[in-house]
Chain A
Amino acid sequence: MSETTLNDIPQLRRGFRFQWEPAQNCHVLLYPEGMVKLNDSAAAILGQVDGDRSIAAIVAALRERFPESDGIEEDVLEFLEVARERSWIELH
Chain B
Amino acid sequence: MSAPGSSCTEPGPPLWLLAELTYRCPLQCPYCSNPLDFARHGAELSTAEWIEVFRQARELGAAQLGFSGGEPLVRQDLSELIGAARGLGYYTNLITSGIGLSEARIAEFATAGLDHIQVSFQAADAELNDLLAGSGKAFARKLAMARAVKAQGYPMVLNFVTHRHNIDAIERIIELCLELEADYIELATCQFYGWAELNRAGLLPTRAQLERAERITNQWREKLAAQGHPCKLIFVTPDYYEERPKACMGGWASLFLDIAPDGTALPCHNARMLPVQFPNVREHSLRHIWYDSFGFNRFRGDDWLPEPCRSCDEKGRDFGGCRCQAFLLTGDAEATDPVCAKSAHHGLILDARRQAEEAPLGLERLVHRNARTSEIICRSRSE
Tell me, yes or no, whether B306 is within 8 Å of chain A by CB. no
> Secondary structure of the A side of the interface?
mixed
A15 touches B183 (CB 8 A): yes
- Listed by A's residue number, 14 A-B pairs whose Cβ atoms lie within 8 Å are A1-B228, A13-B230, A14-B155, A19-B89, A21-B61, A23-B60, A30-B64, A31-B91, A32-B183, A32-B184, A33-B64, A33-B116, A34-B64, A35-B15
Residues of B within 8 A of A13 (CB): 155, 230
From residue A90, how far is it (CB to closest CB) to chain B in Å? 8
CB distance from A11 to the nearest CB of B (A): 14
Q: How large is the interface on A (under 10, 10 to 19, 20 to 34, 35 or more residues)?
A: 10 to 19
Q: Do the beta carbons of A15 and B154 come within 8 Å of each other?
A: yes
- Rounded to whole Å, the gap between the CB of A3 and the closest CB of chain B is 13
* A28, B61: Cα distance in complex, Å: 12
A87 interface residue per 8 A CB criterion: yes
Among residues 29 to 80 in chain A, which have CB atoms less than 8 Å away from a CB atom of chain B? 30-35
When distances are taken between beta carbons in the complex, the residues of chain B under 8 Å from A31 are 91, 116, 155
Residue on A nearest B229 in the bound complex, by CB? A87
Contact partners of B157 in chain A: CB under 8 A: 32-33
B232 with A87: CB separation less than 8 A: yes
A19 to B93, CA, bound (A): 17
Could you tell me the distance between the alpha carbons of A33 and B255 in the complex, rounded to whole angstroms? 13
Contact A32 B63 (CB under 8 A): no
- Establish whether residues B230 and A87, one from each chain, have CB atoms under 8 Å apart when the complex forms: yes
**Are B183 and A33 closer than 8 Å at their CB atoms?**
no
Contact of B118 with A33 in the complex, beta carbons under 8 Å: yes
Which one of A15, A21, A24, A34 has the greatest number of beta carbons of chain B within 10 Å? A15
Taking CB atoms, residues of chain A closer than 8 Å to B183 are 15, 32
Instruction: Using CB atoms and an 8 Å cutoff, list the residues of chain B in contact with chain A.
Output: 13, 15, 60-61, 63-64, 66, 89, 91, 93, 115-116, 118, 153-157, 183-184, 228, 230, 232
Contact B63 A35 (CB under 8 A): yes
CB distance from A15 to the nearest CB of B (A): 3
Q: In the complex, which of the residues A13, A30, A35 has the most CB atoms of chain B within 10 Å of its own CB atom?
A: A30
Residue from B63, B93, B115, B116 in contact with A21 in the complex, judged by beta carbons closer than 8 Å: B63
Alpha-carbon distance between A15 and B13 when the two chains are bound, in angstroms: 24
Please state if B61 and A14 are interface contacts (CB–CB under 8 Å): no
Chain B, residue nearest A1 (CB): B228
Looking across the interface, which residue of chain A has its beta carbon closest to that of B15?
A: A35
B154 CB contacts on chain A under 8 angstroms: 14-15
In the complex, chain A residues whose CB is within 8 Å of the CB of B153: 14
A34 to chain B: which residues have CB within 8 Å? 64
Tell whether, in the assembled complex, residue B228 and residue A35 are in contact, meaning their CB atoms are under 8 Å apart.
no
Chain B: minimal CB distance from A47 (Å): 16
Instruction: Name the contact of B91 in the complex, choosing from A1, A17, A24, A87 (C-beta under 8 A).
Output: A17
Closest A residue to B228 by CB, please name it: A1
Interface-central residue, A13, A21, A23, A28, by most chain B CB under 10 Å: A23
A28 adjacent to B63 (CB under 8 Å)? yes
Contacts A17-B91, A32-B155, A87-B232; A23 near B116 (Cβ below 8 A): no
How near does chain B come to A18, taking the closest CB pair, in angstroms?
11
CB-based closest 4 A-B pairs: A23-B61, A15-B155, A30-B91, A32-B116
CA distance A13 to B66 in the complex (A): 20
Taken residue by residue from 1 to 23, chain A's Cβ proximity to chain B (1 for < 8 Å, 0 otherwise) reads as 10000000000011101010111
Q: How far is the CA of A1 from the CA of B63 in the complex (A)?
A: 34
Cα distance A15–B230 in the bound complex, in angstroms: 13
Shortest A60–chain B CB gap in Å is 29
B90 and chain A: residue at smallest CB distance: A30
Q: Are A32 and B60 in contact (CB under 8 A)?
A: no
How many angstroms between the C-alpha atoms of A30 and B89 in the bound complex? 11
Of all chain B residues, which has the CB nearest A25?
B61
Minimum CB distance partner of A33 in chain B: B93
Contacts of B184 in A (CB 8 A): 32-33
B115 touches A35 (CB 8 A): no
B155: chain A residues within 8 A (beta carbon): 13-15, 31-32
Residues of A within 8 A of B89 (CB): 19
Question: Which residues in A have their C-beta under 8 angstroms from that of B116?
Answer: 15, 31-33
- By a CB distance below 8 angstroms, the chain B residues around A32 are 93, 115-116, 118, 155-157, 183-184
Instruction: State in angstroms the CA–CA spacing of A33 and B66 once bound together.
Output: 8
